[in-house]
Amino acid sequence: MTTAEKKDNNNNANANNTKKKSNDELAPVYESTPVDVAWNTRDVLLFANSIGCEKEQLWYLYENHPHFTPFPTYPIVLTFKHTHTSTIPFAQHFDTFLNPAIPDYPHFDSTRVVDGGRTLHVHHPIPSTSPSTATFTITSRILSITDKGPKKPAIVVIEHRLESAGTLYATVTETTIYLGQGGFGGPTGAPRLPPIPVVPPMGRDAGGVDAVLEHRIPETAHLLYRLNGDYNPLHADPAAGVNAGFKGEIMHGLYTWNSVARAVLRRFGGDGEEGLGVGELVIFEARFVAPTRPGDALRTECWVTKDGREREVVFRTWVKEGGVGEEKLCLNGGRAVIKVNGKVKGKL
């Protein structure tokens, strides 16, 4: 073998090794330029209504309330909304901002994608309206792209940072699962995900829950929630749902995620309870296990793992289709961290 041939073989081997590196060995594979986002008071009122905030939580629902404030998970929708004030084509918008062309990687098919989960860190509360004098932006970094093999999924983990004038307001980590799109010779190993909470916590079982929260998804909740910026036909058109293998249209995963956030914050943050004060949500996260549909009944099991001024709750949510029949898990690995303001109750 000549020296040149040896060199070529070494180069090929190095190239193959690079393709097969685990995500632990790789730096983030892509970072966007900052993208402007904007919202107004009407947007945050719509969001609060769409996730089921109740009349007892008027400070989220009425702009003239003396303590009016956006519901703390509102930043989660800005990766879809950006600066748009009307409906937008879903596939084009998704491919532009959440599925960009990346050198050395295939362009994934956004018609075969499901949501794997979200983690939200709230660093500072956002204003009720994004001011014209201080631009808010989102910068997105793809932390990892994992190839699970032929006919298996490709898993993409993205971090979004909401900032303005040098202040970090929120960090969102999302997991996107592209169905059947593995096998491209990409990195293997575990995706770069935040640690997933153990639910129930070690030493506890389902019989020892600290609270069970129940609510029913309104029949038109999907049609209201989509107005926050996610216009995927799967969440409005029954035919699109059937074509995707469901019985009809399904709920946005983030509707379920946000509606459970509302219920957990109200129960454990003193949100709306006399004399307890409103809790400040610091972290909220959950993994999507199964879809939900309009009219379904949700039941969330909660365990308090830390109590006091900063309360930690882990949870999982079950869905009962149409409110009847057997339950199945729809959210797992859930966790909320809440700073409790004002009077704090004893251990729950």
Q: In whole angstroms, what is the distance from residue 196 CA to residue 192 CA?
A: 11
Strand partners, 216: 297
Query: How high is the pLDDT of residue 69?
Result: 93
Which residue type does 344 have? V
Q: In whole angstroms, what is the distance from residue 241 CA to residue 243 CA?
A: 5
Query: How high is the pLDDT of residue 26?
Result: 54
Q: Domain for residue 45, yes or no?
A: yes
CA 186 to chain centre: 25
DSSP codes, 302-323? EEEEE-SSEEEEEEEEEEEGGG
Q: What is the pLDDT of residues 10-62, one digit of tens each?
A: 433 333 333 444 555 555 778 889 999 999 999 999 999 999 999 988 999 99
DSSP letter, residue 86? S
Query: How high is the pLDDT of residue 192?
Result: 77
Q: Domain for residue 16, yes or no?
A: no
Which residue type does 137 have? T
DSSP letter, residue 106? P
Q: Domain for residue 11, yes or no?
A: no
Q: Which two tokens stand for residue 237?
A: 């058109």
Residue 298 burial by CB count (10 A; 0-12/13-18/19+): exposed, middle or buried? Answer: buried
SS3 content of the chain, % helix, strand, coil (to 5): 25, 30, 45
pLDDT tens track, the chain, 348 positions: 444 444 444 433 333 333 444 555 555 778 889 999 999 999 999 999 999 999 988 999 999 999 899 999 999 999 999 999 999 888 888 888 888 888 888 889 887 888 899 999 999 999 999 998 889 999 999 999 999 999 999 999 999 999 999 999 999 999 999 989 999 998 887 777 777 787 877 667 666 899 999 999 999 999 999 999 999 999 999 999 898 888 999 999 999 999 999 999 999 987 554 433 467 899 999 999 999 999 999 999 999 999 888 999 999 999 998 878 789 999 999 999 999 875 444 344
H/E run at residue 286: strand 280-288
Query: How high is the pLDDT of residue 6?
Result: 40
Q: What is the pLDDT of residues 290-326, one digit of tens each?
A: 999 999 999 999 999 998 889 999 999 999 988 787 8
CATH code at position 144:
3.10.129.10
Q: Where are the beta strands (DSSP E) in 165-221?
A: 167-178, 211-216
Query: How high is the pLDDT of residue 157?
Result: 93
Total of domains in the chain: 1
pTM for the model = 0.87
Q: Domain for residue 303, yes or no?
A: yes
Residues spanned by the domain of 30: 22-339
Q: Domain for residue 50, yes or no?
A: yes
Q: Domain for residue 33, yes or no?
A: yes
Q: In whole angstroms, what is the distance from residue 19 CA to residue 147 CA?
A: 10
Query: How high is the pLDDT of residue 37?
Result: 96
Q: Domain for residue 14, yes or no?
A: no
